[in-house]
Structure 1
Amino acid sequence: MAEDNAPVAVHVTDEPLAATAAALVDKLIADQVASKLAAQDPTLWGPDAESEASIRLSWTTLHKSSRPLIGEIEALREELRGEGVDRVVLAGMGGSSLAPEVITGTEGAPLTVLDTTDPGQVADALAGDLQRTVLVVSSKSGGTVETDSHRRIFTQAFTEAGIDAASRIVVVTDPGSPLSKLAEESGYRKVFLADPHVGGRYSALTAFGLVPAGLAGADVARLLDQAALAAQVLGSDSKENPALRLAAAWAAAHSDGAEKVVLADTGSGIKGFPDWAEQLIAESTGKQGTGLLPVAVEGPEAPGFADAGQDATAVAVGPAGGAAKIATEGQLGAQFLLWEFATAIAGKLIGIDPFDQPDVEAAKKAARELLDNPAALEGGENPSTVDGSVQVFAPAGVSADGSLTDVLKAFLATAPEHGYLAVQAYLDRLDDASAALLRPELARRTGLQTTFGWGPRFLHSTGQYHKGGHQNGVFLQITGSPEQDLEVPDRPYTLGKLQHAQALGDGKVLTEHGRPVLRLHLTDRAAGLAQLVRAIQEVGE
């Protein structure tokens, strides 16, 4: 629990950092930053950011404005249960899925999350009991390609199972979006229109976070109660404001060269919080060649946290422990609001607009261009070399001579001092879950701060930082041949082709930014992952 019965607390356990941060806190108090943020003042981030900020600050009062949703969600849940429908599948990316996953994971409420284009993972979701299934289609823009693909596939599956598809689809979107219009025309079960003045990564307490979680059985009213208690202190111009302390500590560390924030759960009781915070911090701060790179790790003893160097700040979600320089404590609703306030304030201190994402569209555009040119997508790919079940596509300047281990060594040598390694797995997050073990293995053997992301999920999370943040990353892409593919109804591509285009498109944009990208394609996923693990183990020998 937070100290002195406060709803949320921040402890800066590193004394030099605490001293530097304290001076920044004093300046934030003098400038009334917290109270102005709570009052939704769009001038806080300067004239260039004012236009965007003016339509992105409603998240500060969601603990009040989202209250009417509670009754609507509960009524729909009871209605569906009365029809024997109690399995909730969420189709959503980024801010539309990360918060619901944390909420339901923390409360033990069953929710199937589809934030992937991997055909195997989607097929597994389809294999569940459709007679008991409701699909929540969640997209702020209403045009998210992954989510639209899921909607089309499930619509066909419902119909083929003799189920009225429209009665089993619930939509969460912004007013006036293409999805809201489609939902009205198609007669979908219910449409929840979210507050359009909240950006996706700040939307945990909007309909995007609450609807799927509430339908799955989570107590979303309690979540808003927790946030409401925290809001009282987070909007105050006082030294006791934990958001000011957290933002000041991040900014002080960043100004001293610690551009990475390593996140580990230390017994908070909250499940998966670092994955949610990862998007919030990366998309909000990673731009204009600066920002904070969040590195979500497995625990306080994990490589990267226990041995955080001068370029990284270790942050505990839960009690202070291990090498943590900062610790945050509080219940989930309070933590959501704390980290949102702190991230927005850190943006002011670092000197960026925390509400735009100028580099996200580039990878989407590159993927669309590949989908529009099947010949470029399917042909013209000649691996640099092949080692067993692994096809190697090496970047310029990296020799592909020798074994897979040799290629990895040559690639990792391109990482600059104080740089980072991003592992990007365009695989099945469930069946290929062992791929996540690559992160600690690589971090331990290279000494690099190492992130891990499932593709294309991370494109809606850390993808902004990769192009807009500090340009010192090297990127290991892992793609794999699917055992089965899925057609996307009324679209000229399969899920497998879409997934492949997303990987190649993002790789192309990263290469254009001058960053090294090594792609390893697994012709047999299980054998290829085992082979890759062995090669990585040999890297540090």
Structure 2
Amino acid sequence: MSAPTSISEFPGGIEAAYRAALESLVRQEAIARLFRRDASLWKREPEHQKTIANRLGWLDSPRWLQERIGELTAFATEIRSEGFTRVLLLGMGGSSLAPEVLAEVMAPSPGAPTLEVLDSTDPGSIRTAETTHRLDRTFFLVSSKSGRTIETLSQYRYFRARLEEAGVPDPGRRFTAITDQSSALDRLARDEGMRRVFLNPPDIGGRYSALSYFGMVPAALLGLDLKAFAESATRAAEACAAPDPARNDALRLGAFLGAAARAGRDKLTLLTSPSLRPLGYWIEQLVAESTGKEGIGIIPVEGEPPGFARYYSEDRCFVSLTLASEPSADLARLDAELKQAGAPWVEIVLPRRVELAAEFYRWEVATAVAGAVLGIDPFDEPNVQESKDNTAAILAQIEKTGVVPEGEPRAREDGVLVYASQRLWEKLTSYTPGHPSLEMLIGRLLALKRTGDYLAILAYVERTAGTESAFAHLRREIRDAIRIPVLQGYGPRFLHSIGQLYKGGPSTGIFLQITSSDAEDLPIQGSRITFGKLKLAQALGDLQALDSRGKPAVRLHIAGSVADGLATITQAVERALTAFAQT
């Protein structure tokens, strides 16, 4: 057996708060109560206790997995024997993020199909998924706990129609569903002849489902060593059940996260070695959706390019995640600089990639513990539905009129249209002579920054190497210039991840939404709605939810090419930051 995962804490400026939180958890017997499934660890209200009681099945995931290795391996062998060379997973949030980690961090075994994840309604993303691999050699996983996820069901309808149009025989057997029993997807799968339906334990919530069918069916199809995964997770579960903090890394991590947030360091900055970057996506959803409610929460800052210590504001704590075989000189330098400045830091070094299984379990326990420190229910998501309801109302209008109700832009410049609520627009343009420039509007939006704020860039565009590079540049430039954490996510993907926190968490966000016209739109079979209109409706619905809470949110719509539009926005941001430096 290789060396265990190395975890070390440097509480720095939150030393007293961290020790107090840890001592309180020990006095409360938090770990024993967690594993007894005592809902009063978090809440005493009956409605919360009912929710919590039905969301703790993940505690048994390692044992559950051990018992299903044979079943999962046999299914993977069956799919491989029929010549499929790619698995395309259609899913969002908790149904897709753990599979994405496995697909990008773990190498498939020889002869196993590749695994790709489609978690977008962007027409370009869907077309790319369609055209980069032969559809007749593609096996589809349709994953949704509720069975009602609009993105997933729309994707299924699209690819099912594509297979039928191509004359592929028995197209239903090229799909398998993962869902809860009696869900809409369960019924659909049986009615439409899908090969199989994997019914997940109903007491496992989406973001805690990595070690259930939602994560392990994809793992099996990749040909990963499920026995090693189960053993890794089992060791983690045994360690996480220890009441002694010295032997329980998850207890200490949860105390650290909760104490940091309560001490004003609620920006959890995740720093990873390059190959572990996808793990940050999964942690972002787990932590944000679990803790971002009741006006408080831990705000994950995932994927922000590393910088020098002087560029990081004092509202941050840090967790670094690296592989022992992949040391990072940049992270080592930043580690030393920030520790010297007293910044709270946890360092996690994985000896092998298979230890991802243990990391999944450790972070699930730590997040549940952090919820107890913060006094919130880490298993509900009370503010997710509002954006969905707004989107549904907009889609109803589109069904009736055929037109997306965007409203009129407040300004336009070089193919970029600016939208904002009347309240925010008056604030951004007060005492402004003539026509406001994009540079001025962005500058005034950033000038709303207060101590403890963050900026979130919400991009409803296709995720490509070009957009990743452009957003990394924007995040670095803005952070370095005005010392603000800069988050970035792709819509509608982030709605199923950190979107809960944006609405229900701390009132410290400034939001820059970026939408775009689509060079090509794609139909959703059986609907008047297209993917492009669905994507825009989701953006508008979420913007309404932010506006209704008085959150400062501006939408920039790119009317031409995304590359040109992002270049225009970047140039305006750079000019605005230059003006900041001169004031």
Tell me the TM-score range normalised by the shorter chain.
Answer: over 0.9
Q: Which residue among 514, 529, 542 is the counterpart of 1:493? A: 529
Number of positions where the alignment pairs a residue of Structure 1 with one of Structure 2:
535
394-403 vs 347-356, which moves further: 394-403
The letter for the 2-side match of 1:487 is P
**Structural mapping, 1:302-313, within 5 Å:** 302=307, 307-313=311-317
Q: Which residue among 390, 394, 398 is the counterpart of 2:416? A: 390
Alpha-carbon separation, structure 2, partners of 1:430 and 1:338: 31
The letter for the 1-side match of 2:270 is L
8 A Cα contact 1:424 1:453, kept in partner? yes
146-155 vs 180-189, which moves further: 180-189
Query: 1:261 — aligned with what?
Result: 268
Query: 1:423 — aligned with what?
Result: 457
Deviation at residue 415 of structure 1 after TM alignment? 2.7
Query: 2:70 — aligned with what?
Result: 71
The letter for the 2-side match of 1:292 is I
The secondary structure found in structure 2 opposite 1:272 is helix
Deviation at residue 393 of structure 1 after TM alignment? 1.2
8 A Cα contact 1:86 1:216, kept in partner? no
Alpha-carbon separation, structure 2, partners of 1:212 and 1:493: 30
**Structural mapping, 1:191-270, within 5 Å:** 191-240=197-246, 241-266=248-273, 270=276
RMSD: 2.0
Deviation readout 1:363-410 (Å, 9 max, x if unpaired)? 010011001002495245211111112111134222293322111101
**Structural mapping, 1:34-433, within 5 Å:** 34-48=31-45, 49-109=48-108, 110-127=114-131, 128-163=133-168, 164-240=170-246, 241-266=248-273, 270-299=276-305, 301-302=306-307, 307-318=311-322, 321=332, 322=334, 323=338, 325-330=345-350, 331-374=355-398, 375=401, 378-379=404-405, 381-395=407-421, 396=424, 397-399=427-429, 401-430=435-464, 432-433=467-468
The letter for the 2-side match of 1:436 is F
Alpha-carbon separation, structure 1, partners of 2:240 and 2:499: 29
8 A Cα contact 1:370 1:377, kept in partner? no
244-253 vs 191-200, which moves further: 244-253
Query: 2:513 — aligned with what?
Result: 477
- Does the alignment pair 1:10 with 2:45? no
Deviation readout 1:255-302 (Å, 9 max, x if unpaired)? 2111211111147x5341111100011110010001111111345x24
Deviation at residue 306 of structure 1 after TM alignment? 6.8
8 A Cα contact 1:261 1:314, kept in partner? yes
TM-score, normalization by structure 1: 0.94
Distance 1:539 1:369, change over 3 A: same
Alpha-carbon separation, structure 1, partners of 2:539 and 2:307: 28
The letter for the 1-side match of 2:384 is V
Alpha-carbon separation, structure 2, partners of 1:239 and 1:433: 39
The secondary structure found in structure 2 opposite 1:372 is helix
Identity %: 38
Alpha-carbon separation, structure 1, partners of 2:576 and 2:222: 44
Alpha-carbon separation, structure 2, partners of 1:106 and 1:284: 24
Deviation readout 1:99-157 (Å, 9 max, x if unpaired)? 11111211133321110000011011111201110110000000000000000001001
Alpha-carbon separation, structure 2, partners of 1:219 and 1:433: 32
Query: 1:526 — aligned with what?
Result: 563
Alpha-carbon separation, structure 1, partners of 2:464 and 2:267: 28
Alpha-carbon separation, structure 2, partners of 1:187 and 1:148: 15
The letter for the 2-side match of 1:387 is E
Alpha-carbon separation, structure 1, partners of 2:312 and 2:36: 37
Distance 1:133 1:71, change over 3 A: same
The letter for the 2-side match of 1:183 is A
Alpha-carbon separation, structure 1, partners of 2:195 and 2:397: 37
Alpha-carbon separation, structure 2, partners of 1:93 and 1:217: 23
Alpha-carbon separation, structure 1, partners of 2:138 and 2:118: 14
8 A Cα contact 1:270 1:332, kept in partner? no
Alpha-carbon separation, structure 2, partners of 1:266 and 1:155: 38
The letter for the 1-side match of 2:63 is K
Distance 1:289 1:377, change over 3 A: farther
Alpha-carbon separation, structure 1, partners of 2:245 and 2:176: 44
Alpha-carbon separation, structure 1, partners of 2:406 and 2:502: 26
- Does the alignment pair 1:22 with 2:19? yes
8 A Cα contact 1:364 1:505, kept in partner? yes
8 A Cα contact 2:179 2:185, kept in partner? yes
Distance 1:9 1:34, change over 3 A: farther
The secondary structure found in structure 1 opposite 2:276 is coil
Deviation at residue 71 of structure 1 after TM alignment? 2.2
8 A Cα contact 1:367 1:502, kept in partner? yes
The letter for the 2-side match of 1:261 is L
Alpha-carbon separation, structure 1, partners of 2:139 and 2:34: 38
8 A Cα contact 1:283 1:465, kept in partner? yes
Alpha-carbon separation, structure 2, partners of 1:306 and 1:220: 44
The letter for the 2-side match of 1:123 is R
Distance 1:477 1:513, change over 3 A: same
Alpha-carbon separation, structure 1, partners of 2:548 and 2:120: 25
TM-score, normalization by structure 2: 0.88
- Does the alignment pair 1:538 with 2:562? no
8 A Cα contact 2:269 2:319, kept in partner? yes
Alpha-carbon separation, structure 1, partners of 2:349 and 2:40: 30
Alpha-carbon separation, structure 2, partners of 1:16 and 1:470: 21
The letter for the 2-side match of 1:527 is D
Deviation readout 1:194-239 (Å, 9 max, x if unpaired)? 1110111111101111112321333333222211111111111002
**Structural mapping, 1:493-512, within 5 Å:** 493-512=529-548
The letter for the 1-side match of 2:205 is G
Alpha-carbon separation, structure 1, partners of 2:497 and 2:158: 24
Deviation at residue 518 of structure 1 after TM alignment? 0.7
Deviation at residue 529 of structure 1 after TM alignment? 1.1
Distance 1:402 1:45, change over 3 A: same
Distance 1:298 1:512, change over 3 A: closer
Alpha-carbon separation, structure 2, partners of 1:98 and 1:170: 18
The secondary structure found in structure 1 opposite 2:68 is helix
